[in-house]
Amino acid sequence: ETEINKPHVSVLSSPGMGHIIPLLELAKCLVIDHGIHVSFLNITTEASTAQIQLLHSPTLPLGLDVIDIPAVDISALVSHDTPIVARLSINVEESLKPLKSILIELGKPQALFIDLFCTQAFDVCKELSIPTFTFFTPSTSFLAFCLYLPTLDREVECEFIDLPEPVQVPGCSPVRTEDLLDQVRNRKIDEYKWFLFHISRLPMSDGILLNSWEDFEPTSLKAIRGHPFYKQIPTPPVFPAGLLIKHNKPELDDECLAWLDKQPSNSVLFVALGSGGTLSAAQLTELAWGLELSQQRFILVARKPTDASASATFFNVGEDINVNDPNSYLPDGFLERTKEVGLVVPTWAPQVSVLQHPSTGAFLSHCGWNSTLESMTHGVPMIAWPLYAEQRMNATMLVEEVGVAVKPVGIPGKGVVDREEIEKVVRLVLEGEEGNMMRRKARELKVSAVKAFEFGGSPHESLSSVIKEWKIENEISV
């Protein structure tokens, strides 16, 4: 079959590795498993080296075309302290102005798949009669929360963080106010308005694909499908499209993997805070000391600390691998003293390959949803270190509901976790019986994930049903 005869869809991702990675995985699944021709629309920003490598990698399958939407100048619309969702949304809004002509030029793809922050695309697609599916990349419990938020917004006058009780999301676990994401902690600012804008538009989707599987989040999935609240919205059909997470081939000459090969099994703590995470200088110092005091093996993905924001590298602000010298910001002599047990890599590590390596025993993570899925599908327990977005909700779920993570306690009022506490949790997860129990739980989940992912298992079927849906809408024979 030539590309011309194949069904053709587009996938549109908002900027940032945390969005691009899962959307690109979806695109690959559509191409490889379903024989579809995919145009991947990439909203260009000042992209990181990792992002350029990912999107222009020679290993992308045939039939997956990456199309760069030209970068826009948003400097007049944002300032250096514009929060992340507002900045992202403004960038998307401006970048998508030519979307209609791009889609027409592509010959009107038969469907468009977008992520949560590209909902401006709904209007254009409606005009062009292109069915549009949202790939909701965070957790299913977070989707339930999002679908409920417009109602909460109408019914509650005060700030949500001042509510006396946890937020009762219909059919799901209550959300503690301290776990609420940054975007809903101040209803007066644009950050909240943009967030509410996108999630209020979610029901305009022809279907919502979920980055999860049935056994991982059964309660929220059941609620979204069956609870009267979600029915009356009405909520579009949801598809747990499963493990659309990176299955990259281990890099052959990677420093981390070569180092891991020489370590005993389950002995190494992998420390990485997603694509955007950064710590304050004080916190990074405590973390380094905590690792050293624990005397456990570790790989630390090191980023220059900053007191400005917990997600400073999201747009690669000031982040350049060539000028990232961990010696300049880690405690004096740290690298020398820990060189027998630790490996420090600046900026970026091949996370999935590290997590699937048998020497990796635990993961200190900011609990971004991709990182969470990657850890669970490789049976690795976590130290939960939530930083931004919905990560506090993810962390609470992993610690309290799933039992695969431990969360260190911060110094009240200071927002810093001290070195003794870090030493304690690192030992607990790598050496302690509690760590073993969490590892067993994580492995059970891994097994259920593998089962779900097998050909014919639910995620594959889910994706097939979505495809069927739009094929029927387009009267294309299946």
Active site (catalytic) residues: 19, 115
- Return the number of the residue (124 or 199) whose C-beta is nearest ligand UDP: 199
**Other C-beta atoms within 10 Å of 186: how many?**
14
In whole angstroms, the minimum distance from the beta carbon of 221 to ligand UDP comes to 20
Verify binding: residue 375, ligand UDP, rule CB under 6 A.
Answer: no
276 forms part of the interface with ligand UDP (CB under 6 A): yes
Of 121 and 389, nearer to ligand UDP (C-beta) is: 389
User: Amino acid letter at 362?
Assistant: A
Nearer to ligand UDP, 99 or 362 (CB): 362
Measured from the CB atom, the residue of 173 and 375 that comes closer to ligand UDP is 375
Q: Quick one: which of 283, 294, 338, 351 contacts ligand UDP (CB under 6 A)?
A: 351
Chain positions 240 to 269 lying near ligand UDP, rule: CB under 6 A, are 246
Minimal distance in Å, beta carbon 439 to ligand UDP? 20
Query: CB 226 → ligand UDP: shortest distance, Å?
Result: 28
Asked if 371 interacts with ligand UDP (CB under 6 A), we say: yes
Q: How far apart are CA 287 and CA 386, in angstroms?
A: 14
Name which position in 48, 275, 306, 316 contacts ligand UDP (CB under 6 A). 275
The tokens for 40 are: 């991947």
d(CA 180, CA 186): 11
C-alpha closest to that of 371 among 209, 25, 51, 138: 138
The span from the CA of 416 to the CA of 282, in Å, is 8
Q: How far is the CB of 274 from ligand UDP (least distance, A)?
A: 3
Nearer to ligand UDP, 199 or 301 (CB): 301
User: Residue 15 and residue 311: Cα distance in Å, rounded?
Assistant: 14
Candidates 7, 15, 274, 386; binder of ligand UDP (CB under 6 A) is: 274
The answer to whether the CB of 306 falls within 8 A of the CB of 48 is no
Tokens found for residue 425: 């949790």
Shortest Å distance, C-beta 46 to ligand UDP = 16
Alpha helices, H only, 71-156:
84-95, 99-105, 121-127, 140-155
Q: How far apart are CA 99 and CA 101, in angstroms?
A: 6
Does 21 bind ligand UDP (CB under 6 A)? Our answer is yes
User: Token pair for residue 468?
Assistant: 């069927």
Residue from 171, 242, 361, 368 touching ligand UDP (CB under 6 A): that is: 368
The SS3 of residue 365 is: strand
Closest to ligand UDP by CB, 329 or 348: 348
Please tell me whether residue 364 binds ligand UDP under the rule CB under 6 A: no
Query: Which residue is closest to ligand UDP by CB?
Result: 18
Place of tokens 């979307």: 99
CA 346 – CA 324 distance, rounded (Å)? 6
Among 41, 114, 144, 349, binds ligand UDP (CB under 6 A): 349
Q: Interacting stretch for ligand UDP, rule CB under 6 A, among 96-104, 207-215, 349-357, 428-436? A: 349-357
Give the angle subtended at the CA of 180 by the CAs of 151 and 155, to the nearest 5°: 20
| Among 182-190, 344-352, 441-449, 458-466, the segment contacting ligand UDP (CB under 6 A) | 344-352
Least CB distance to ligand UDP at residue 330 (A): 17
- Cβ of residue 136: shortest distance to ligand UDP, in angstroms? 13
Return d(Cα 275, Cα 315) in angstroms, integer.
9
**What percentage of the chain's residues is helix, strand, coil (to nearest 5)?**
45, 15, 40
Per the CB < 8 A criterion, the answer to whether 242 and 212 are in contact is yes
* Contact call for residue 18 and ligand UDP (CB under 6 A): yes
DSSP 426-455: HHHHHHSHHHHHHHHHHHHHHHHHHHHHST
Q: Per-residue contact track with ligand UDP, 33 to 62, x per CB under 6 A?
A: ------------------------------
Nearer to ligand UDP, 338 or 372 (CB): 372
Which of 301, 393, 398, 438 is the binder for ligand UDP (CB under 6 A)? 301
Choice between 102 and 299, CB closer to ligand UDP? 299
One of 169, 272, 362, 397 touching ligand UDP (CB under 6 A) = 272
Asked if 384 and 453 count as a contact pair (C-beta separation under 8 A), the reply is: no
CB 452 within 8 A of CB 458: yes
Query: Considering only 209-217, 252-260, 286-294, 343-351, which stretch makes contact with ligand UDP by CB under 6 A?
Result: 343-351
What are the φ and ψ backbone dihedral angles of 4, each rounded to 5 degrees?
Answer: -65, -35
Burial 89-127 (b: 16+ CB within 10 A, else e): bbbbbebbeebeebbeeeeebbbbbbbbbbbbbbebbee
Q: Find, among 39, 27, 32, 34, the residue nearest to 478 by Cα.
A: 34
- Shortest gap between Cβ of 320 and ligand UDP (angstroms)? 15
Q: Does 141 bind ligand UDP (CB under 6 A)?
A: no
Which stretches of the chain bind ligand UDP, using CB under 6 A? 17-18, 21, 246, 272, 274-276, 301, 348-352, 368-371, 374
